[in-house]
Amino acid sequence: MPQSQTLSGGFADPARQSAHAFRSVMEAMARPGSLHDITGAEPPASLSVATGAVLLTLCDTDTPVHLAGDADCATVRDWIAFHTGAPFCGPADCMFALGTWQALAPLSAFPTGTAQYPDRSATMIVEVPQLSASGATLTGPGIKDNASLSLPETRAFRDNHALFPLGLDFIFTSGSRLAALPRSTEVR
């Protein structure tokens, strides 16, 4: 990757854009299944705008990142390293994991927290071809009656919810949209 591409693509107005992006991510986590637009990042072509904004907002030198599948390439590594300083690691040691649903399998490779520290689990940033408010039915905290979200499957999320308060949290990205599925959400 040419150095100019590595150095570009971050937030033009970091304070304002990271605050807006952080709010979008927190709103998505607080209201599982809701869709949110998120912009401001111009990551390498292999990543969506939403994924770039999530990485710029949540990752730093203290948040180890695991890259899976096509996301694990020099272009993405250089961009993340320059803009966030996040270290790269294997699945068992990550705080964030990035890839497609297939590339992130098996989910059992990622930390789900411990009884003493359930927060020491991984957040999965899953690049999906599309996001829509249809498909699987979601219930739980932050959802008035129920919500719907296009998920890559349902069984893995039911199994993940059964681990609560342990488990993985998920952020789904597609284009400039994101949605979240915390471990507390029940999927049918």
Per-residue pLDDT at 1: 47
Which tokens sit at 81? Answer: 């390293």
Q: Could you tell me the maximum CA-CA distance found in the chain, to the nearest angstrom?
A: 49
pTM of the model: 0.95
Q: Each residue of 6-26: pLDDT tens digit?
A: 677 889 998 999 999 999 999
> Which CATH number is 3-187 given?
3.40.50.11310
CA distances from 28 to 22, 95, 153 (A): 10, 18, 19
- The domain locations on the chain are 3-187
pLDDT means per 10 residues in the chain (188 residues)? 66 92 97 96 94 97 97 96 97 98 98 96 98 96 96 97 97 98 97
Dihedral (CA of 143, 147, 150, 154) sign: positive
